[in-house]
Structure 1
Amino acid sequence: MRFAAIADIHGNYPALDAVLADIAAQGITDIVNLGDCFSGPLEAGRVADRLLSLSIPTVRGNHDRYLIEQQPEEMHISDAAAYAQLGVVHLDWLRSLPVDLIYRDEVYLCHATPDDDNLYWLDMAVADGSVVLRPQAEIEALAAGIESPLILCGHTHIPRMAALSGGRLIVNPGSVGGPAYDDEKPYPHKVETGHAMASYAVLEKSTSGWTAQFRNIRYDNMAMSVLAATNGRPEWASALATGRMPQSY
């Protein structure tokens, strides 16, 4: 079994297009999507049309949830920007998405963690503002009750995998469309990949078990950086240009 996992597109259409082309070039036809599809100051409508045409297994991310649970005037600026580009059919599709699912009877999919779509699974923010690998015991605890040999999650935008007890493997494929961001909870912190490429993962099962190959794909990131700047989001412009957040904005 061999398939691709994508996550955290955040409305970045050229990044999604480049990733889908790379997947196809490898002869891979099966793809799963781990959520946070549209939110951001980019091209949510184009991404929505493309995703709906693909009909790939998709789970709902926290920003996907905000788009269907909150009123536009209550939304964060990134969610509101995406919402303005979406139609009824796109929002109905978001409403139809499950919070988790089992793919091909042995791969568990969720956006962040099984019980909390805002909680980092493989990483954690600490008081000094850095983001570090979560302790093994905590990763294991969050996987309690999940027997699938392969577990996939997104949310942090950082490509990462960890071995779990019983031979299980948990993989975060990284972000297709957002190589850096900052957040205030639980502590102010920055998540930065340090590059501007689109990230995804190829998962493959052999007789010895599951493996993951992380892939980073170049695309016209500067066009998206300019679009973010034009839309009044200098922090997004920096992230898309460099994979790092600006010092201040």
Structure 2
Amino acid sequence: MKIAVISDIHGNIAALEAVLADAATRQVNQIVNLGDICSGGLFPRETADRLMSLELPTIRGNHERQLTDQSRERMGLSDRHAADTLLPEQLAWLAALPPTMRLTDDVLLVHGTPDSDLTYFLETVTEDGLREATREEVEQRAGSADAALILCGHTHLQRIMTLDDGRMIVNPGSVGLPAYDDDRPYAHLVESGSPHARYAVLSKENGGWAAQLLSVEYDWEQAARDAEANGRFDWSRALRTGRV
């Protein structure tokens, strides 16, 4: 079994198309989507249209929940752009997505952690900023989830950790947004360091899982100009550089 894992597209249709094209060369059996699909500074409607046609196993991220749970007045710029742009049937599709999904008996899809779409799984935020999570922190967040492979997104950073009991947690990175800043629970930066679109391929071999973290080139300069045309100069720097 060979699975391509995409996450955190954030309306970047050009990056999505590049990743889908790359995955098509790798003989994957399945592509799965871990959420945060449309909200951002780019092309929510086109992204939703492309993914709805593919009918991939897909879960919601925090941005899908925010789109359906919050009033427009309470939304941030990225969710507001999506809310103003998406068609009613696209919003209905996002609203119907499950928060987690069991792909097979040993593969669990989550956005943040099994219990939260906002908690970072493999990173920890302190007053000093972002750092890699300790093994003890990751074990606590994994809880009693009994899947051999847990796929998570949310932080946009590619990372793998195998726990002492053999469970593997994999974050494929972000397809569409290589850097951002946030203020919860403390102000911090998340930076991948380059503008590439990112995803992962997981292969089941000899009863266990092997992970390949991939970076894909696409026309990020055009994506940055598209963000600027929508007034999102914060996005244009992130898209060009992978830095905030």
Question: What's the TM-score, normalizing by structure 2?
Answer: 0.98
Distance 2:115 2:59 in 1: 13
Amino acid of the structure 1 residue aligned with 2:212: Q
Shift of 1:228: 1.1
1:177 has 2:176 as partner: yes
**How many angstroms does 1:104 deviate by?**
2.0
Q: How many Å apart are 1:91 and its aligned residue?
A: 1.0
**Partner residue of 2:106?**
106
* Counterpart residue number, 1:144: 143
Counterpart-to-counterpart distance in 2, 1:128 and 1:71: 33
CA contact (8 A) 2:10 2:177 kept: yes
Name the % identity. 49
| Cross-structure match for 2:209 | 210
Q: Tell me which residue corresponds to 1:118.
A: 118
| Corresponding residue SS for 2:51 | helix
| Pairing 1:21–2:4 present | no
Q: What CA distance in whole angstroms lies between the structure 1 residues aligned with 2:51 and 2:29?
A: 14
Counterpart in the other structure of 2:95: 95
- Greater CA deviation, 9-18 or 144-153? 144-153
Assess if the C-alpha contact under 8 Å between 2:114 and 2:145 holds in 1: no
Aligned to 2:192: 193
Code of the aligned partner of 2:10: H
1:55-94 superposed matches below 5 A: 55-94=55-94
Give the whole-Å Cα distance in 1 for the aligned partners of 2:114 and 2:229: 37
Contact 1:23 1:29 survives alignment (8 Å): no
Question: Alpha-carbon deviations, 1:160-189, whole Å to 9, x = none?
Answer: 010113211000000000000000011111
1:52 is displaced (CA, Å) by: 0.2
User: In the alignment, is the contact (CA less than 8 A) between 1:201 and 1:212 conserved in 2?
Assistant: yes
Q: Is the 8 A contact 2:220 2:240 kept in 1?
A: yes
Q: Which runs of 4+ in 1 moved over 3 A?
A: none
Contact 1:38/1:82 (<8 A) preserved:
yes
Q: Deviations over 1:48-89 (max 9, x none)?
A: 000100101111100111111112222111100111111111
Q: 2-side partners of 1:188 and 1:160: how far apart?
A: 21
Structure 2 spans left out of the alignment, 5+ residues: none
Task: Supply the distance in 2 between the matched residues of 1:32 and 1:109 (Cα, whole angstroms).
Answer: 8
TM-score (norm 1): 0.96
Equivalence for 1:244: 243
In the aligned structure 1, how far is the partner of 2:104 from the partner of 2:118?
Answer: 26
Aligned partner of residue 171 in structure 1, secondary structure: strand
Cα displacement (A) at 1:94: 1.1
Counterpart CA distance in 1 for 2:29 and 2:62 is 27
CA distance in 2, matches of 1:231, 1:238: 14
Contact 1:44 1:86 in 2 (8 A): yes
State the Cα RMSD in Å.
1.0
Alignment of 1:224-235 (within 5 A): 224-235=223-234
Gaps of at least 5 residues in structure 1 are: none
